[in-house]
Chain A
Amino acid sequence: MISFARALALALPLGLAGILAHSAVAEARPVRITTTLKPYGGDGAYLAIYITDPQGKLAKTVRIAGGKAKYHKHLSAWNRLSGGKIDGTTGASVGSGQSLTVSVEIADALIDAGYQIRVDSAVENENDVPGDAVTPLATAGAGKAVAGRGYVKSLTFDM
C-alpha cells in the first residue's frame, strides 16, 4: 500500500486544478487499474497507462511498462503529451495474454470531472496503438471493462 504521505504527494498535483478553491487538503482515494492483453502471441507489449484532463492534456502518468527507453516513443500519444518525461512508475513489459494491475491515489475532485484513463500499447517490430483503450474516470464506469482496439483486451478500474 502507498503511504499517506506518498498518496498526498501524488494527489496534490493531480487535484490542483479542481480543488484549490475548496480545500487546502485534498481528499483522495486509491484507484486500481487492470489492463489485460489479448493472446496476440508476440514479444511483451510496452504500455503507457495515463490520465488525461478534459482538454486531452496529460494529467498524470500512472505506469510505463517496458524497460527500454528507446522504445517509449512508440507509446506515441503519451509520448506527445508527456514529451517522453515519465512522471509515474515504471515496470516490465506485459506478455501476451497477461494482466497488469496498478494502483494510484486519485483526488476525488478528478472523478466524474471529464478525466480519462488511457492506455497506449506497442510491440517491438509490430504495431503502435495510441489510445488502445480509453475509459472515462467516472463513478459509473468503475468495475466495467472496456475493450481495447489493439493489443489490449480489456481495461477496468476499481475505486
Chain B
Amino acid sequence: MLRQIHSLPGLVAALLVAVLALTGAVLSVQPALERFAASSVVTGTISVAALAEAAQAQHAEIDKITKTASGSVVVSYFDGDKAGADLADPATGRVIGPHSPSATIRFITNLHRSLLLGTAGRIAAGLGALAMVVLTITGAMMLAARLGGWTALLQPIRGNARQRWHAQAGRLAIVGLLLTALTGCFLSLTSFELIPDGLAEPVATASGGGGARASVGSLAALQAVDLADLRELAFPYAADPTDTYRLTTAAGVTQIDAATGEALSFQPHSTARQLYETIYMLHTGQGLWPLGLLLGLSALAVPVFAITGAMIWWQRRRSLPRIADNRPASAADTIILVGSEGNSTWGFARTLHAALTQAGHKVHAAPMNALARAYPKAARMLILTATYGDGTAPASASGFLARLDRSALKLPVAVLGFGDRSFPQFCRFAEDVAAALAMRGWPALIEIDRIDRQSSQSFALWGDRLGTALGHGLTLAHVAERPKTMALELVKRVDYGAEVQAPTAILTFRLPGAAAGRALWKRLFPASLPPFEAGDLVGILPPGSTVPRYYSLASSAREGILEICVRKQPGGLCSGFLNDLPLGGRIDGFIKANPAFRPNASAAPLILIGAGAGIAPLMGFLRANRSHREAHLYWGGRSPASDFLYRDDLASCIADGRLSALNAVFSRVAEGGYVQDRLAKDAQQLAALLRRGAQIMVCGGRDMAGGVSQALDAILAPMGLSTATLKASGLYLEDVY
C-alpha cells in the first residue's frame, strides 16, 4: 500500500518535481553568491539618513533604498522618464555600479514558481510541492520498514545499485527536502491567499504636514536608524506634497514627515507577516545562505530519485511475469500462487498454467503475496515456491504466511517446493507453507512434492500425479529458459594445486576487445560490464547446458574484469570446462547480484574466513579495502608449495595495510590443520575482535562452513552469543556451496 502511495505520485510528478528541484537548486546558490559579493554591513558605520543623503546626491528622484537579506544596498531611482537601480556601498553610500538583476535568474525564478504558465503553473508547482511532501514521508516510511524500524534508519542499505542509490540519496536529502517541500506548500497556499501572509492588512496612511521638504540627511528619525537595521526606505512621491518617507525595519513600518523628520506613525509587522518571512527565508535561504546551499544540495537528489525510481518501477513491472491467457482471480477455477526469488519458479508456473488452460481450466496465476480474501469460483489452489537462504520465504512470498493468518479461505491445495538438495534446508519454506495450510484444515489435493535443481523430469512426474487427482491427463513439458548472457573472453589464468589433487585456477575474463572490423561508434563506446561488486555471482552456462553454475566474483565491474576461482570437481561439467579453457577462450555468463554477502559499513574489524576457492570474494573485499579497515583473514589450503592461492596479492595487501593479519593453514604439512582448528587456537584474539563488533564473513564448502560455525560458537558461548544471533544482526554472513 505504502509502495503504491509512493510510486504513483512519484511517476506522475517525477518530471514536474525534477524541474522544481533543479530550478530550486540553481536559485539556492544565489543567496551565497550575493552574500559574498556584498561587502558586509557593520553596525555603527553609517545611518540610514547619511546613506540616503549620499544617494540623493546622485539622483534627484529616488523611489526607494532597499537592503536585501544578503546585505546588498540597492537604490531605485527615476531620471526623468527612465527608471533605474544602482548598487551602493553600504559603508559610504557611494554607487558601486548599476544594479541589473540577471534575466536568467528571473527566468529560472518564474520557471520555479509558475513553470512560465501563469496561474495554472502556480497551481501545478504547488501540487508538485505537495507531491514532494507525500513522497518524502512515504519514502522515509518505506526505508524505515525495509531497514527494520526508525532506529535502524542509519543501517547499511542492501539491494541492487538503483535501490541503494535511491535509498541513499533519500537518507541524505530527507531533511532538506521535507523542509523545502513543506515551506513550498506554505508559500503556494499564501500565494493563493488560502493562508494569510500579512500583506492583506491595511497600511498606516498618515500624511505629512506638507511643508517644504528638508534634505533627507537632516531628518532626525532617519539619523536615529543604523543602516544595519534597514530593510527598505521608500521616498515620498514627488507629486504628492503630503506623502511621507516610509521606513521598514525588522520591527515594522515607520512613516516620517518629509519636512520635519518627525515619526508620524509606527506599525509593527503582524505575526502572519513575521511567520511568512521566516518561512520565505527557510525556503529560499535568502539571509541564511548556508541553509540555501544545503537545500540546493538536497534538491539535487530529486533527479536521482526520478531516474532511479523510474528504473526500479520499470524493473519491478518487467519482472512481473507475463502469462498468456491469465484469468482474473474472481473468474478462475484454479489458482496458481508462486513464491520466487529469481524468476525460475515462474517459468514452471507458466508451463503449468498453459497445460491446465489447455485442459479446459480457467487459471489465475499470481505471486503468493497476492493471496486474495476470496476466490469465488476457485475449486483448487496450486502453490509453487522456492526457498530463500536458510529456509525463509522468497521475495514474492514474504507476506504469505501473515496473510494466510488473516484469511478464512479453505481450498483443496497442492504444494510444490523448488530447491537444491545439497542445501540442508531443502524446500523448507514449501514445507512450512504446507504445514500451515494443513493446520488450517486445507485438504491436500496431492501430497507436497519437491523439485531438485529445476529438474524437468520431476516436474513432469508431479504433473502426472496432479492430473490423476484432477481426473484428466496433464503433460508438463518444461523447458528452462536460457538466461540472457554475455560473451566473456579468458585473458589470464593462474593454476594451482595440481600436486595436491586440488587443481584450482584463478581465471580472469574481459568483454571481448574491440576488433578492427567493428563499427567506429562501437570502438569509441565499447560495451561495458554490467555493474557488480566483489561477492556478487557470475552464472556460467557450460556448452550444451541451460542450467547455470554460479561462482563468487573476486573483482568489481570498476576494475573492468571478472575474476573467479574455480576448483576442478571430479566429473564436474562446468568446472572441467573452465579448468580446460585456453587463453582467448570464451564463455557465456551473466551477473547475479548477491547483495546479502557484502562487508557492512561499520569501522569495526572484519574477520574473513574461507577455504580453497572460497577465498575469491574475500580477496575481492580485501582489494577494495582502501579505507584500511582492520581485516583478519583465516584461510585453509592443502600445501603452501602448491595451492597457496593469491599469495602475492595477499602479501601486497598486508604491505599496504588493507589486510591486518593473514592466518593461512595447510592440511598436508607437518603439524598442519584446517581453518576451524586455527580459529579454535586463536579463540582469545577472536573473542576480543568480536567484542569490538567485528563482522564475520565465511566463504567455502558446506563442510568447512559447518566446522567454522562450530568453532565460533564455542568462542561465542561464554559471551552469551552464538553464530545464530550474529546472523540475525547481519554480523555473520555465509556464502556456502
Question: Interface on A for B, CB 8 Å cutoff?
Answer: 41-44, 56, 68-71, 73, 76-77, 79-81, 83-84, 127-131, 134, 147-150
For the complex, give the distance between the alpha carbons of A128 and B241 in Å: 19
Selected contact of A56 from candidates B82, B203, B241, CB within 8 Å: B241
In order of increasing CB-CB distance, the 3 nearest A-B pairs are A70-B200, A149-B81, A70-B199
Known: A148-B81, A149-B80. A56 touches B239 (CB 8 A): yes
Q: Are the C-beta atoms of A131 and B239 separated by less than 8 Å?
A: yes
For the complex, give the distance between the alpha carbons of A77 and B238 in Å: 10
Q: Are the C-beta atoms of A42 and B106 separated by less than 8 Å?
A: yes
- Residues in B neighbouring A128, C-beta threshold 8 A: 63-64
- Residues in B neighbouring A42, C-beta threshold 8 A: 106, 110
For the complex, give the distance between the alpha carbons of A59 and B316 in Å: 70
Q: Are the C-beta atoms of B83 and A80 separated by less than 8 Å?
A: no
Q: Are the C-beta atoms of A149 and B83 separated by less than 8 Å?
A: yes
For the complex, give the distance between the alpha carbons of A70 and B272 in Å: 13
Majority secondary structure of chain A interface residues (helix, strand, loop or mixed): mixed
For the complex, give the distance between the alpha carbons of A150 and B106 in Å: 18
Min CB distance B297 to A, Å, is: 25
- Residues in B neighbouring A73, C-beta threshold 8 A: 203
Q: Are the C-beta atoms of B240 and A150 separated by less than 8 Å?
A: no
- Quick check: is B202 within 8 A (CB to CB) of the other chain? yes
Selected contact of B239 from candidates A71, A79, A134, CB within 8 Å: A134
6 A-B residue pairs with CB within 8 Å = A43-B110, A70-B200, A80-B205, A129-B78, A130-B63, A131-B239
Selected contact of B83 from candidates A44, A77, A129, CB within 8 Å: A129
- Residues in B neighbouring A134, C-beta threshold 8 A: 239
Q: Are the C-beta atoms of A68 and B239 separated by less than 8 Å?
A: no
Quick one: closest A residue to B66, CB to CB? A127
- Residues in B neighbouring A68, C-beta threshold 8 A: 193
For the complex, give the distance between the alpha carbons of A147 and B80 in Å: 10
For the complex, give the distance between the alpha carbons of A42 and B63 in Å: 20
Quick one: closest A residue to B84, CB to CB? A149
Q: Are the C-beta atoms of A81 and B240 separated by less than 8 Å?
A: yes
- Residues in B neighbouring A131, C-beta threshold 8 A: 237-239
Besides the known contacts A43-B114, A69-B200, A70-B199, 5 further A-B residue pairs in the complex with CB atoms under 8 A apart: A42-B110, A68-B193, A80-B243, A127-B76, A134-B239
Selected contact of B193 from candidates A41, A43, A56, A70, CB within 8 Å: A70
Q: Are the C-beta atoms of A149 and B78 separated by less than 8 Å?
A: yes
- Residues in A neighbouring B114, C-beta threshold 8 A: 43
Contact with A along B2-13 (1 / 0, CB 8 A): 000000000000
Q: Are the C-beta atoms of B240 and A80 separated by less than 8 Å?
A: yes
For the complex, give the distance between the alpha carbons of A6 and B718 in Å: 101
Q: Are the C-beta atoms of A84 and B110 separated by less than 8 Å?
A: no
- Residues in B neighbouring A80, C-beta threshold 8 A: 205, 207, 237, 240, 243
Q: Are the C-beta atoms of B63 and A129 separated by less than 8 Å?
A: yes
**Residues of chain B in range 235-284 having any CB-CB distance to chain A below 8 Å:** 237-241, 243
